[in-house]
Structure 1
């Protein structure tokens, strides 16, 4: 036999009043129905919870233990409607965010700070993914929001330009390109060994760079997927690399950054990306906060 919340409330009232009459008055009922509630509760639990006679009421040791659980169950039950309402409104819940490694260079932390300030009861779950992995996870609703590189299918996703930055050259300290005044013309790079973006794993940067610079395949000495790896290879004097300006924040030793002449001053883009159809109420609240608190990219 299962017990009811009314029976648990009856036990708590009797345990706190140690008197059936006062407990019944507190619950706005008469004493006989309260006594029957306690009897049914004891039958359901299978032990005596109260010692009682004509003069006193006391909890048994089993009753003491059960009382603690009864209070916990009642607290959960009383909080459940509010929790459900908050989850439904999006002010509480879980938002799963995917991000590229490059988005951690200042952007991701600022975004998380804004969300924590305005939606403290929304839990954020972070997963580092390249853009194509984010797109796949967003399409299956295994992810709610992405920080990703374009392009995206507008029929499946909505997006907002979050950040735009310059494309720089990462070169070893003392490299000849550091002595050039002004942005480096791509024609200056024809003899340089290149640490390049993987065409499969870093498709956005690969396509971006080849659209801006003529790259001879024989000059590519390494193809990698992560900017951090590129910088360590540059530090080891393995070649030069094309990186977003935010990579300067990583502070890799023996690496200098020089401006690159590009048709667009800030060609590197980072977007917020989310599915057009989502069943997560917290996502709408998250997007509203970011719309208000994160300025449009310049």
Structure 2
């Protein structure tokens, strides 16, 4: 098999058509360059150059091989450069978990910012609830999460990406659809579409902490906000959703403020292992953290 040095020597001679100039270009002497070309010709089994004491010319086979030699050298140089960029963090893959609500909230802008700053970092996306994201981070299946608290701060580092209001979603024909805001008393006898206490634990805990809920009023428990909104549109009840859900524009649903709540109790965090070693992740985090300060 031929070597990369032999290919580089051949390309230099083929382009200069002069062994002396090619050797000078490669910062070597002429005799070892001549030996490289001879070894290359033995490896490929054909004569690549016609040479005498005065001239050097490419054979027909040599002209064809020159194209392939340049391509192979380009691939080799590109592979080395790619490996170095992966090591430095400017290339590679970052596997990102995200909640469904993040997909119509902060995720698109985050992806655009990362793509503009680091187009050679591949972003592998996985839609998962927070619990599954935490499992994925711990097993190494994910590098980064867009998740809801709480989490173990000794194991995970995090940064708040978004704080937003909690709204009430009602059918557009509902009596509360024309109210500027609603109170807990307005909901005393309303059928409720609630977040599932296990699969949507963050929202479930948040709602029961902020709003007195009558369990007998719960008609459905689901894990996805989009499902809740479709059920609201169908007239099955009212639901508590993050303000970013308004962007979905589900026909037949109206969103109203809830009196007495904190202005932005819903949090979304960027989450990663404190011991994470992926260089591309570190590069991405540095840029995101700097951009968000």
Q: CA RMSD in A?
A: 2.3
1:87 is matched with which residue? 86
1:239 is matched with which residue? 237
Alignment of 1:135-154 (within 5 A): 135-154=134-153
Alignment of 1:45-56 (within 5 A): 45-52=44-51
Cα separation, 2, equivalents of 1:227 and 1:190: 22
Look up the SS of the partner of 1:42 in the other structure.
Answer: helix
Please tell me whether residue 216 in structure 1 is matched to residue 207 in structure 2: no
| Higher mean C-alpha displacement, 85-94 vs 238-247 | 85-94
> What CA deviation, in whole Å up to 9, does each residue of 1:228-268 have, x standing for no partner?
12111111112111100111111111110111134422211
Match of 1:225 among 215, 223, 226: 223
Structure 1 pair 53–276 and aligned structure 2 pair: CA distance change class (3 A)? same
Match of 2:273 among 272, 275, 298: 275
| Higher mean C-alpha displacement, 278-287 vs 26-35 | 26-35
Shift of 1:30: 4.0
Look up the SS of the partner of 1:94 in the other structure.
Answer: strand
Cα separation, 1, equivalents of 2:220 and 2:187: 16
Look up the SS of the partner of 2:151 in the other structure.
Answer: coil
2:247 is matched with which residue? 249
| Higher mean C-alpha displacement, 278-287 vs 83-92 | 83-92
In the alignment, is the contact (CA less than 8 A) between 1:195 and 1:239 conserved in 2?
A: yes
Structure 1 pair 79–194 and aligned structure 2 pair: CA distance change class (3 A)? same
In the alignment, is the contact (CA less than 8 A) between 1:161 and 1:270 conserved in 2?
A: yes
Shift of 1:204: 1.2
| Higher mean C-alpha displacement, 64-73 vs 137-146 | 64-73
Look up the SS of the partner of 1:205 in the other structure.
Answer: helix
Please tell me whether residue 111 in structure 1 is matched to residue 110 in structure 2: yes
Shift of 1:269: 0.7
Please tell me whether residue 32 in structure 1 is matched to residue 41 in structure 2: no
Unaligned 5+ residue runs, structure 1?
Answer: none
1:193 is matched with which residue? 191
Cα separation, 2, equivalents of 1:99 and 1:88: 26
| Higher mean C-alpha displacement, 54-63 vs 98-107 | 54-63
Cα separation, 2, equivalents of 1:210 and 1:47: 81
Shift of 1:71: 1.5
Shift of 1:124: 2.1
> What CA deviation, in whole Å up to 9, does each residue of 1:121-169 have, x standing for no partner?
3232222111111111111222111110011011210111111111111
In the alignment, is the contact (CA less than 8 A) between 1:114 and 1:289 conserved in 2?
A: no
Unaligned 5+ residue runs, structure 2?
Answer: none
> What CA deviation, in whole Å up to 9, does each residue of 1:69-107 have, x standing for no partner?
322332344455544443333223222221111112231
Shift of 1:14: 1.9
Cα separation, 1, equivalents of 2:59 and 2:130: 61
Look up the SS of the partner of 1:37 in the other structure.
Answer: helix
Shift of 1:207: 1.7
In the alignment, is the contact (CA less than 8 A) between 1:139 and 1:275 conserved in 2?
A: yes
Structure 1 pair 216–72 and aligned structure 2 pair: CA distance change class (3 A)? same
Cα separation, 2, equivalents of 1:234 and 1:90: 45
Look up the SS of the partner of 1:6 in the other structure.
Answer: helix
Cα separation, 1, equivalents of 2:62 and 2:86: 35
